[in-house]
């Protein structure tokens, strides 16, 4: 447990010295949603109808901004090799990095989505569903994106390849996340899509650290 | 104890070397020499388990044998200080955080240097910081890839002291170096890797 905390503390220390890395995703989300607002007519009711898709897609793209760097520096400076030889299993080190990534990237997006949802015309109940969906969905984005980042860490220009590989894998998360908010807007039950999101998260938490560590070993070999 | 039996390594289609057999006992240092590209680093990576072997067997006793690996790269985060880097490695290895500062002091890094960002340090200071990892926890096998790179005369003398203490304590060392080894080290054996068969 102490070793896992050491991995997460290191990530937070690194983030404290590279503020632009973790300020960029919420700023990106803010800019994209604002631009959508400027592009629509004032008080256009269709904006609130599209709000779930706008917020989910913008959050997804914002989270993607930081994924390429998740393992890149560790791969280049030799830290990854050392992690493989440490007593802490690599899947736990990888899990620690994913948790830190979500705290630094996903959590701010979840928190920012509430005022942005209101700005796009969602009512209080819809915003609660949006936040709940993102709270379940953004860890999935960190996990699935982290796996693809590990697969591509040894490749040149992985930054171009990463979104192309990640986006199709994330589609179910966006469908259920945005679908939950649409259901709330229409007065329908939201339990089913949120349960599906929780199920995807459970699968990610149980499988991704293992397959991710295998991808990292393959990259170093 | 480390035993290598008919080991062959390849990189892509190219065979680096084949038929390497040797055994290393407690208190012995294997100095691996050879021309650039003959497979010195690959041999160390294979011994660390970081590289698949083409054929042959590597055995250790006990299995697995706890090891420290110092590669070409120092495994230091440039934006953190040496102390913060070492505290991370201490935490990951289950060592006491206080051991980090003691290890940096033992490799000759002054208190002010220990708190500066690694990116502002010289190559030799970064290498000393990497070598400090050897002192965080006692491990029987040291795999050192060009550990003397960037070190000044004091640093090389310090490295000799570290090696001597480790060998005297019954440790094993496999290291590559293009430089002459510090004098009066016990149990040194030489391996010229480029004289082995390859294609």
pLDDT digits (tens, 9 = 90+) for A189-210: 999 999 999 999 999 999 999 9
Q: Given the structure tokens 């220390």, which residue do they identify?
A: A13
Closest C-alpha to B151, from B126, B172, B176: B126
Contact indicator for B171, B140 with CB cutoff of 8 Å: yes
For B50, which of A6, A81, A87 is closest by C-beta distance?
A81
From the CA of A167, how many Å to the nearest CA of chain B?
30
Q: How far apart are CA A57 and CA B38, in angstroms?
A: 51
ipTM reported for the complex surpasses 0.95: no
pLDDT attached to residue B197: 58
At A152, list the tokens.
């591509």
Closest C-alpha to A201, from A105, A135, A127: A135
Check residues B46 and A18 and name the one with the higher pLDDT.
B46
A85/B78 touch (CB, cutoff 8 Å), yes or no? no
Q: How far apart are CA B118 and CA A113, in angstroms?
A: 37
At A213, list the tokens.
């560590």
B92/A7 touch (CB, cutoff 8 Å), yes or no? yes
Contact indicator for A24, A66 with CB cutoff of 8 Å: yes
Q: How far apart are CA A69 and CA A83, in angstroms?
A: 17
At B134, list the tokens.
């050897």
For residue B80, list chain A residues with Cβ-Cβ distance below 8 A. 10, 13-14, 17
Q: Given the structure tokens 């290895």, which residue do they identify?
A: B93
Residue-wise pLDDT for A92-133, tens only, equals 999 999 999 999 999 999 999 999 999 998 999 999 999 999
pLDDT attached to residue B199: 42
- pLDDT beyond 90 at A68: no
Three-state SS at B53: coil
User: E strands along chain B, which residues?
Assistant: 2-11, 14-24, 29-33, 55-60, 67-70, 141-145, 172-176, 188-192
Contact indicator for A66, A109 with CB cutoff of 8 Å: no
Q: How far apart are CA B93 and CA A144, in angstroms?
A: 28
- Check if A17 contacts B (Cβ < 8 Å): yes
For A77, which of B67, B75, B89 is closest by C-beta distance?
B75
Residues of chain B with pLDDT under 50: 199
Number of other residues whose CB lies within 10 A of the CB of residue B119: 11
A73/B77 touch (CB, cutoff 8 Å), yes or no? yes
pLDDT attached to residue A47: 87
B73/A7 touch (CB, cutoff 8 Å), yes or no? no
A82/B80 touch (CB, cutoff 8 Å), yes or no? no
pTM of the model: 0.89
Q: What is the dihedral of CA A121, A123, A124, A128, to 10 degrees?
A: -80
């Amino acid at each position: 447990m102490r070793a896992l905390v050491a991995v997460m503390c290191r990530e937070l220390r690194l983030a404290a010295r590279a503020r632009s890395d973790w300020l960029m995703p919420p700023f990106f989300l803010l800019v994209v949603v604002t631009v959508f607002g400027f592009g629509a007519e004032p008080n256009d009711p269709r904006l609130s109808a599209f709000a779930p898709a706008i917020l989910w897609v913008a959050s997804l793209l914002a989270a993607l901004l930081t994924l390429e760097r998740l393992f890149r520096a560790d791969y280049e400076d030799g830290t990854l090799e050392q992690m493989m030889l440490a007593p802490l299993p690599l899947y736990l080190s990888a899990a620690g990095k994913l948790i830190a990534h979500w705290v630094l990237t996903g959590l701010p997006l979840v928190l920012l989505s509430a005022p942005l949802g209101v700005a796009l015309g969602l009512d209080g109940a819809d915003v609660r569903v949006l936040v709940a969906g993102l709270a379940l969905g953004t860890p999935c984005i960190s996990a699935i994106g982290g796996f693809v980042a590990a697969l591509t860490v040894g490749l040149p220009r992985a930054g171009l390849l990463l979104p192309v590989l990640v986006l199709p894998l994330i589609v179910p998360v966006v469908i259920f996340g945005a679908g939950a908010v649409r259901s709330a807007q229409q007065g329908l039950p939201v339990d089913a899509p949120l349960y599906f999101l929780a199920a995807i998260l459970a699968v990610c938490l149980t499988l991704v650290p293992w397959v991710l560590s295998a991808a990292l070993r393959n990259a170093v070999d | 104890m480390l035993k290598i039996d008919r080991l062959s390594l390849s990189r892509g289609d190219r065979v680096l070397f084949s038929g390497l057999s040797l055994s290393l006992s407690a208190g012995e240092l294997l100095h691996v020499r050879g021309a650039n590209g003959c497979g010195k680093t690959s041999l160390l990576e294979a011994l660390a388990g970081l590289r698949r072997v083409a054929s042959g067997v590597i055995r250790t006793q006990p299995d697995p044998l706890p090891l420290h690996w110092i590669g070409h790269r120092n495994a230091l985060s440039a934006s953190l200080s040496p102390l913060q880097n070492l505290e991370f490695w201490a935490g990951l290895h289950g060592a006491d955080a206080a051991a980090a500062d003691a290890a940096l002091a033992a490799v000759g890094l002054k208190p002010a240097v220990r708190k500066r960002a690694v990116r502002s340090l010289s190559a030799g200071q970064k290498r000393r910081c990497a070598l400090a990892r050897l002192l965080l926890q006692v491990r029987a096998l040291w795999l050192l890839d060009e550990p003397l790179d960037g070190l000044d005369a004091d640093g090389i003398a310090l490295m000799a002291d570290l090696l001597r203490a480790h060998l005297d304590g019954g440790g094993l060392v496999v290291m590559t170096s293009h430089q002459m080894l510090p004098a009066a080290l016990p149990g040194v054996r030489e391996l010229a890797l480029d004289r082995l068969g390859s294609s």
